[in-house]
Chains A and B, each alone.
Chain A
Amino acid sequence: MPVVVDPDLCNGCYNSRQPPCVRMCPGDLIVKDFNTNKAYLKYVEDCWDCLPCVKACPEEAIRFQLSYQMGFYSAALQPHIHKDRQHITWTLQHPDNRREEFTIRTKVLEVALDEKVEGEPAPDFSI
Chain B
Amino acid sequence: MPASPPQPTQPGRRAPEAAPGPQAPVIERAEQGTINRVVHEADVLIIGGGTAGCLAAVELRERYPGVSVMIAEKAHVDRSGCLAAGMNAINAYLNPGETAESFVRYVRFDSCGLVREDLVKSQAELFEYAVKKVEGWGLPVLTDENGNYAARGRWNIKINGESLKPILAKAARDAGAKIHNWVVITDLLVSDGRCAGAVGFSLRTNTFYVFKAKATIVATGGAAGLYKPNNAYDAQHKTWYSPFNNGAGYAMGIRAGAEMTSFEMRYVALRTKDAIAPTGTLALGVGAPMVNARGERFMAKRYAHLGGDGAPTPYRAFGPIEEAKAGRGPCYLDTTHITEEQASQLKTAYLDMYPSQVLYWAANDVDPMKQPVEVQTTEPYIVGGHCQAGYWVDADRRTTLAGLYAAGDVAGGAPFKFVSGCWAEGIIAARAAGAEVQGLAAPQIDHRQTAYHYQRTFDPLFNYGKVKYGVRPYDMEVRMQKIMEEYAGGASNHYEMNEERLLLARKYMGQLPDQFDQLVVGDMHELMQAHEVMDRVAVGQVLVEHLIARKETRWPAFQTRTDFPDRDDLHWLKFVNSRMDPGTGKIEVVFRPYEQVVEGDRYHPGEAPGKKHPAPRPAAPPTPPSSSPKSGG
Q: Chain A: residues with CB nearer than 8 A to chain B?
A: 1-2, 4-5, 7, 18, 23-28, 31-36, 38, 40-52, 55-56, 64-73, 75-77, 79, 88, 90, 92-95, 100, 102, 104-109, 111, 117-125, 127
Are A45 and B351 interface neighbours, CB within 8 A? no
Tell me the count of chain B residues lying within 8 A, CB to CB, of chain A.
77
Chain B residues lying within 8 Å of A24, measured Cβ to Cβ, are 76, 78-79
Are A102 and B347 interface neighbours, CB within 8 A? yes
Known: A48-B239, A67-B238, A107-B138. A121 touches B359 (CB 8 A): no
Chain A residues lying within 8 Å of B162, measured Cβ to Cβ, are 55, 88, 104, 106, 108
Chain B: CB-nearest residue to A22:
B24
Are A92 and B138 interface neighbours, CB within 8 A? no
CA distance A124 to B37 in the complex (A): 5
CA distance A94 to B78 in the complex (A): 31
0/1 interface trace, chain B 125-153, chain A, CB 8 Å (1 if under): 00000000000001110000000000000
Known: A34-B25, A102-B347, A120-B205. A26 touches B38 (CB 8 A): no
Chain B residues lying within 8 Å of A105, measured Cβ to Cβ, are 140, 160
Chain B residues lying within 8 Å of A28, measured Cβ to Cβ, are 75, 182, 203, 525, 528
Chain B residues lying within 8 Å of A70, measured Cβ to Cβ, are 231, 235, 238, 274-275, 356, 360, 363
| Cβ of A74 to closest chain B Cβ, rounded Å | 8
Known: A76-B359, A120-B205. A23 touches B238 (CB 8 A): no
Choose among B80, B163, B355 the residue that contacts A90 (Cβ–Cβ < 8 A).
Answer: B355
Choose among A1, A42, A77, A109 the residue that contacts B170 (Cβ–Cβ < 8 A).
Answer: A109
Number of cross-chain contacts by CB at 8 Å: 225
CA distance A76 to B347 in the complex (A): 14
Give chain A's interface secondary structure class: loop
Chain B: CB-nearest residue to A69:
B235
Q: Chain B: residues with CB nearer than 8 A to chain A?
A: 13-15, 17-26, 36-39, 75-76, 78-81, 84-85, 138-140, 160, 162-163, 166-167, 170, 180-182, 202-207, 210, 231-239, 242-244, 274-275, 344, 347-348, 351-352, 355-356, 358-360, 362-365, 445, 447, 450, 525, 528
Chain A residues lying within 8 Å of B39, measured Cβ to Cβ, are 124, 127
For the complex of A and B, list the 4 residue pairs with the smallest distance between their C-beta atoms, beginning with the closest: A71-B363, A40-B19, A31-B24, A75-B363
Choose among A40, A41, A93 the residue that contacts B362 (Cβ–Cβ < 8 A).
Answer: A93
Known: A35-B22, A95-B362. A117 touches B182 (CB 8 A): yes
Are B355 and A64 interface neighbours, CB within 8 A? yes
Chain A residues lying within 8 Å of B450, measured Cβ to Cβ, are 127
CA distance A95 to B360 in the complex (A): 11
Add 8 more A-B contacts to A70-B363, A108-B162, A109-B166 (CB < 8 A): A23-B78, A45-B234, A68-B234, A71-B364, A94-B362, A95-B362, A121-B38, A127-B447
